[in-house]
Structure 1
């Protein structure tokens, strides 16, 4: 499967989950992740997409570490199976956040 097909599928799923998707293009900053996914409550994910056999370049590895050092969520998604797993993780986080919000509402 091509990277653009994985990206299109992920973008649809992110939208279905209530998130927004930005293509990350940063002139003079090579190696930045492909996508920024943003969800309610300030949950932000930097996502680099690859095919099953794709690999991060050295500058992409450096950017990944730079983002993680700043406390950002960086995900490398290789192929459709990892894309599906990433969406499952997002669904779980969203569900947990909603349950927590409901509990807080009932307590207050």
Structure 2
């Protein structure tokens, strides 16, 4: 299974929840997560997507930790089975 498939599934599930899964591109700031998920009632999180079994690169891990220190919620998803649980956590936060 490719990362693109997981990403498409995430976008579709967020859309079902009437949210937005915006592709996040930040020139000059490497290692930022792939998507910002915005759900109703002001719920949001950064999500890094990976192919099954793949792990974030060291720079991505540092960037995720930096965002978490700033108070943002971040997730790494490498399996479509994780999507429902992650979105549930974001929604209930």
Q: Shared fold by TM > 0.5?
A: yes
Residue 86 (structure 1) shift: 1.8
Asked whether the 8 Å contact 2:20–2:37 carries over to 1, the reply is yes
Matching residue of 2:71? 71
Matching residue of 2:23? 23
Deviations 1:47-78 (A, max 9, x none): 00012211111110111001100110101111
Matching residue of 2:44? 44
TM-score by length of 2: 0.90
Matching residue of 1:10? 10
Gaps of at least 5 residues in structure 2 are none
Q: After TM superposition, what 4+ stretches of structure 1 lie above 4 angstroms from structure 2?
A: none
Q: How many residues align?
A: 93
Gaps of at least 5 residues in structure 1 are 95-108
SS in 2 for 1:36: strand
Select the structure with the greater relative contact order (CA < 8 A; seq sep ≥ 6).
2
Matching residue of 1:89? 89
Which structure would you say has the larger Rg? 1
TM-score by length of 1: 0.78
- Cα distance in 2 for partners of 1:44, 1:85 equals 14
